Amino acid sequence: MVQEPGTTTYTLVVSQYEKNMTIQYTLRAYSTAPISLKPITDPYTCSKTITGAWKGANAAGCPNHDNFELNPTYEISLSNRDSDNQLLIELRGPRDFAVGFQLFVTSLTVAPINHHEKMSTGSYRRGYTMMELAGLAGGKYRLIVATFEPRQEGPFIINLRSLRPVEIKCIQ
């Protein structure tokens, strides 16, 4: 890759698809100009984790199915009056299940920078999905977690990370 003279920043992510063991690796970088490599700093200072399960009637499947609203539902609270909140939401489920979620605005404490009534992870992915949001207003949000197919029962983990204090509680 050839760039014009100046400073350019790139992000390199080393990952392993469906990790089933830890691997060791060596990273080497070569350049015709001075180069520096450094770890990315984690911007998130607050974290909450909650566990749950799809079971019985609340294993209702994706929004294509009539009973989507019966899936496990959580209230996320950003108890501040800021309009520039950042939030990372991760959902982990059994790797045999395609999982996803939707986030709905319930009430806001201030006008948002980026206003969307409903946000979605989009395509459902096997065992893991995430969404990173910026420009969120303080307030309350409703999170519905789902498997793509109904009647898929199993555990899940929701991890929230934020720049400011965040709370999550099960409401269904």
**pLDDT for the residue numbered 29:** 86
Specify if 159 maps to a domain.
yes
Residue 15 lies in a domain: no
d(CA 59, CA 65): 11
Total domain count, the chain: 1
In a domain, 107, yes or no: yes
Structural domain for 85, as ranges: 46-170
Q: What is the pTM of this model?
A: 0.82
Is 34 inside a domain boundary?
A: no
Please report whether residue 98 resides in a domain: yes
**Is 79 within the bounds of a domain?**
yes
Question: What is the C-alpha separation between 79 and 162, in angstroms, rounded?
Answer: 12
pLDDT tens, the chain, 172 aa long: 566 767 778 888 887 766 778 888 888 888 888 888 888 888 899 999 999 999 999 999 999 999 999 999 999 999 999 889 999 999 999 999 999 999 999 998 887 766 678 899 999 999 999 999 998 999 999 999 999 999 999 999 999 999 999 999 999 8
Residue 1 domain flag: no
For position 125, which CATH number holds?
Answer: 2.60.120.380
Q: Do the domain assignments include residue 101?
A: yes
